[in-house]
Amino acid sequence: MANINIFSENIYAAWELDEKEFLNIAKKILKFYLQQPEVTENCCLNGYEYDTISFDFLYCDSVKTHKINREYRNKDYPADIITFAIFADTDKEERFIFDGEINLGEVIIALDKVSEEAQNKNSTQEHELAFLISHGILHLLGFDHQTEEDYNFIIELQNKALKAVGV
């Protein structure tokens, strides 16, 4: 199993997030995904030699995700999650591995949206955040949900991962 380096930054002052706890959850989720043949055979890591996988989380608010959506995605609305899958979204011929490390990209999560969703679903903020973390990791691995079949596949994988890591 490769080393996993995940970096996070919380710029949303209204939620004093235990970043260490969620980094640990993210690592467990990634390890779970990388043990699933349906993931490893179809993700952007397939066929590459590497020692380390790295990516970033930015925790912010929906004002920030709205701005990012407008500036980088030409979409005029706040998002609960935005994923920049650098490795997966780069053409195979242009992908690079620096010193044995693959940088998958960045996941940006609006914590105010997480709180709203938790309230709407009568769930906990922690569960909703773990759900979005698991979703973002799948996007970083190159999975998307343009069809209902793909969406159902991703949601099923997320639910399995959260159950496996005890969330």
pLDDT digits (tens, 9 = 90+) for 49-67: 999 999 999 999 999 999 9
pLDDT digits (tens, 9 = 90+) for 1-38: 799 999 999 999 999 999 999 999 999 999 999 999 99
Cα–Cα dist 167/155, whole Å: 15
Cα–Cα dist 105/34, whole Å: 17
CATH of 3-164, one of 3.20.20.70, 3.30.56.10, 3.40.390.30, 3.40.640.10: 3.40.390.30
| Domains of the chain, residue spans | 3-164
